[in-house]
Homo-oligomer: A and B are copies of this chain.
């Protein structure tokens, strides 16, 4: 199995996804939030790139959610905090979600045969699901504003570590993947410290969303694997 890790959404050319399984990673917070939403019983999450598109797509009974620059969009039902996606708010309902980086990354990955959403919360389950799909893998770190985000890189390294544990043959990976595996190994025993010290971690804490940073830093607490079906992420 070949693994290519891409450092941010700006580096992701469409042709790199052909005939592969993509795992999109946006730890703070889109993919962690998508896991939380499905865990709370949402029927599915429709990722869209713009606020206009989100408003245009919305149908009665659906939930409109999203953020720009770490803050809830005015007039939307929910922001992008996993804490908000309670059973009361989303059970049985479809969520239309737009975020600064994560939903854009999901759209970039759509050329892949399969698209999964990965986070620290569901890494082991996500690695297992990816392995069962029997394709080479692209791990797309969403990043932040077209730059690499530390928490996404750590998560890519964790995913590779989980994949290695499942695979009898050696994994081949690009240099960036090898770097992220090394980073994860250096980080595993003080993960929260690293995530909370990242650019986005610090910004979220400053904006009063420290609880989100804690929650998104928990490793393998969920077995939910969001998977794209048509235009919607559902429980895989």
Q: Is A175 an interface residue (CB 8 A)?
A: yes
A interface list, Cβ under 8 A from B: 7, 144, 147-150, 153-154, 174-176, 178-180, 182-183, 185-187, 194, 197-199
Residue in A175, A183, A187 with the greatest tally of chain B CB atoms within 10 Å: A175
A-B contact pairs, 10 of them (CB 8 A): A7-B7, A150-B179, A153-B179, A175-B199, A179-B179, A179-B183, A182-B183, A182-B194, A185-B186, A186-B186
Q: What are the residues of chain B within 8 A of A197 when measuring CB–CB?
A: 178
Residue in A7, A147, A154, A182 with the greatest tally of chain B CB atoms within 10 Å: A182
A187 B182 Cβ-Cβ under 8 A = yes
Chain B: CB-nearest residue to A150: B175
B175 A198 Cβ-Cβ under 8 A = yes
Q: What are the residues of chain B within 8 A of A147 when measuring CB–CB?
A: 174-176
Q: What are the residues of chain B within 8 A of A178 when measuring CB–CB?
A: 150, 194, 197-198
